[in-house]
Structure 1
Amino acid sequence: MSAQELENYESDLELQLFREYRDVVSLFTYVVETERRFYLANQVDLQVRSGGGEVFYELRLADVWVWDIYRSNRFVRSVRVVTFKDVNIEELNKQDISLP
């Protein structure tokens, strides 16, 4: 596979992922962004923890869609994330969602 073919393949996967996102976003209440992933979820629990002089975040999500082009199944029942970076959580206003 040439570099161009690989680039085209990944571009197609990203476009498919965006289309799937567009189709499912209205089913979810929260958008959650960590340093590694982007999630849609209906339940979010964020706990700030400390240990060994470090502060970290423990995030538990339920009823989740994961933005990841390499996952065959992006819908998962629950996700637990531990991170040392900030977590961005936004509540979606269902009335404002209108993607083309």
Structure 2
Amino acid sequence: MNTQDLENYESDLELQLFREYRDVVSLFTYVVETERRFYLANQVDLQVRSAGGEVFYELTLADVWVWDIYRSSRFVRSVRVVTFKDVNIEEIAKPDISLP
């Protein structure tokens, strides 16, 4: 496999992932971004912790879709993330009317 084949393969995976995201985003309530991953979730619990003078974040998500092209299954029941970086949580706007 040459470099161009590998780049085409990864581009195809990214396009498939984006299409899947577009298809499932309406099933979720929150978008969650950490320094390593992007998640869609229906329940989010964020706890700010400190130990030894360091502040860290403990994030627990339920009913989750994980943005990761290399995962065989992106839908998971729960995820626990511990990070020292900021966490961005946004509620997904739901339209009042859903068009077919």
Fold shared per TM-score above 0.5? yes
Structure 1 distance, partners of 2:12, 2:96, is 28
Per the normalisation by structure 2, the TM-score is 0.95
Structure 2 distance, partners of 1:90, 1:32, is 7
Deviations 1:5-49 (A, max 9, x none): 000000000000000000000000000000000000000000000
Counterpart position of 1:80 = 80
Deviations 1:63-90 (A, max 9, x none): 0000000001000000000000000000
CA shift in 2, pair 1:88/1:74, >3 Å: same
Question: Which residues of structure 2 form unaligned runs of 5+?
Answer: none
Structure 2 distance, partners of 1:90, 1:41, is 10
Matched residue pairs, number? 100
Per the normalisation by structure 1, the TM-score is 0.95
Structure 2 distance, partners of 1:21, 1:57, is 26
Moved beyond 4 Å, runs of 4+: 96-100
CA shift in 2, pair 1:99/1:56, >3 Å: farther
Give how far 1:99 is off.
Answer: 12
Structure 2 distance, partners of 1:90, 1:28, is 11
